Amino acid sequence: MLNKILESKKNELRELILPEDKKLPRYSFYDALKSPKRDLALIAEVKKASPSKGLIKENFQPIDIALSYEKGGADCLSVLTDEPFFQGKREYLTAIKENVKLPILRKDFIIDHIQIEEAKRIGADAILLIGEALEPTLLKELYDHATELRLDVLVEVHAQDVLESVLKVLTPRILGVNNRNLKTFEVNIEQLADMASLIPTDTLLVSESGLYTNEDLVQVKKYGAKAVLIGESLMRKDDQIIAIKQLFGESVHV
Ligand SMILES: O=P(O)(O)OC[C@@H](O)[C@@H](O)c1c[nH]c2ccccc12
């Protein structure tokens, strides 16, 4: 699946026209994760569909979802902009930026410098770079480019050997371990425990994907995660404010 997505992305980029720079406000993704509202920072994802789950949200209202995430005390947002596989749109990100004051991660498959410029113009505060999708040299070049544009970078890896090769070329300020294998879609939370000892002490560790319950959060925190990135389990609920509170084990009065 990952290879299929990357092939399609290459074709998409041939036709990419850069949007105008809307000069939207910028917020620090890193700072928000560094001083979270709870003992574990939350990056809440605005996600309509995925290749593994199909349509996740009927009657998808991206701005309403993002506003509820903000009210529920999310620290940052992640917004899918990939269209063919996740039914995302870059317009969703811009519309959310215009309505919500939280730092936003652009969730897409970035393989080229032009997408970094695009991310900045549409109002992203941070981008995602996936270790499994990029040669280490290109990963480093894209990382440096984003940093020059003052975008934060979430470097994501799934496998331990990929983590090792990434760490040879750079020390990311924020590192995400994706519990989901993007090739097989299998989820494994425990593998974070084995990888945690390899992560540099100054790097902020994010546990991504497949987190559904408060027990899951307690577990990844024990493994050293300082933040979690959650989409599906929040999106599936009718009320995202209640969904966040339940996930964090807080009492909900209805
Ligand atoms: O919906 P979940 O299982 O809570 O996962 C969210 C997020 O981690 C997932 O959407 C994701 C992680 N890495 C990605 C890379 C591309 C697209 C999507 C992703």
Q: Which residue has the tokens 């994802």?
A: 45
98 flagged as catalytic:
no
47 flagged as catalytic:
yes
| Number of other CB atoms surrounding residue 74 within 10 Å | 27
Q: Measured from the CB, is residue 230 less than 6 Å from ligand 1?
A: yes
141 flagged as catalytic:
no
Q: Tell how far the Cα of 231 is from the centroid of ligand 1, in angstroms.
A: 7
Q: pLDDT tens digits for 52-100?
A: 999 999 999 999 999 999 999 999 999 999 999 999 999 999 999 999 9
The domain segmentation of the chain, as residue ranges, is 2-16+27-247
Q: 3-state class of 73 per DSSP?
A: coil
Q: Tell how far the Cα of 116 is from the centroid of ligand 1, in angstroms.
A: 19
Task: Quote the pLDDT of residue 172.
Answer: 98
The length of the chain is: 254
Q: Which of 9, 57, 97, 107 is catalytic?
A: 107
Task: Quote the pLDDT of residue 86.
Answer: 97
Task: Quote the pLDDT of residue 254.
Answer: 62
Q: Measured from the CB, is residue 216 less than 6 Å from ligand 1?
A: no
Helices and strands in the chain: count of H runs, count of E runs: 11, 10
**Nearest of 68, 52, 33 to residue 174 by alpha carbon:** 33
Structure tokens at 47: 């996600």
Q: Is the four-CA dihedral 171, 109, 124, 149 of positive or negative sign?
A: positive
Q: Tell how far the Cα of 209 is from the centroid of ligand 1, in angstroms.
A: 5
* 2-16+27-247, CATH topology level: TIM Barrel (3.20.20)
Task: Quote the pLDDT of residue 185.
Answer: 87
| 154 contact partners, CB below 8 Å, separation of at least 6 | 29, 105, 126, 127, 128, 129, 172, 174, 175, 176, 206
Task: Quote the pLDDT of residue 37.
Answer: 97
Q: What stretches of the chain adopt beta strand conformation (E)?
A: 41-46, 49-50, 54-55, 76-80, 104-107, 126-130, 152-157, 174-178, 204-208, 227-230
Q: Measured from the CB, is residue 232 less than 6 Å from ligand 1?
A: yes
3 flagged as catalytic:
no
Q: Measured from the CB, is residue 229 less than 6 Å from ligand 1?
A: yes
CA R_g for the chain: 17
Residue 68 and residue 99 in contact, taking contact as beta carbons nearer than 8 Å: no
Q: What stretches of 41-118 adopt beta strand conformation (E)?
A: 41-46, 49-50, 54-55, 76-80, 104-107
Instruction: Report residues of the chain scoring pLDDT below 50.
Output: none
- Closest residue by Cα to atom 16, ligand 1, is 108
Structure tokens at 39: 């003992």
Q: Measured from the CB, is residue 162 less than 6 Å from ligand 1?
A: no
Which one of 6, 8, 42, 50 would you pick to mutate in the ligand 1 pocket, going by the greatest count of ligand atoms within 8 A of its CB?
50
Which one of 69, 78, 180 would you pick to mutate in the ligand 1 pocket, going by the greatest count of ligand atoms within 8 A of its CB?
180
Q: Measured from the CB, is residue 102 less than 6 Å from ligand 1?
A: no
| 130 contact partners, CB below 8 Å, separation of at least 6 | 109, 110, 156, 157, 182
45 flagged as catalytic:
yes
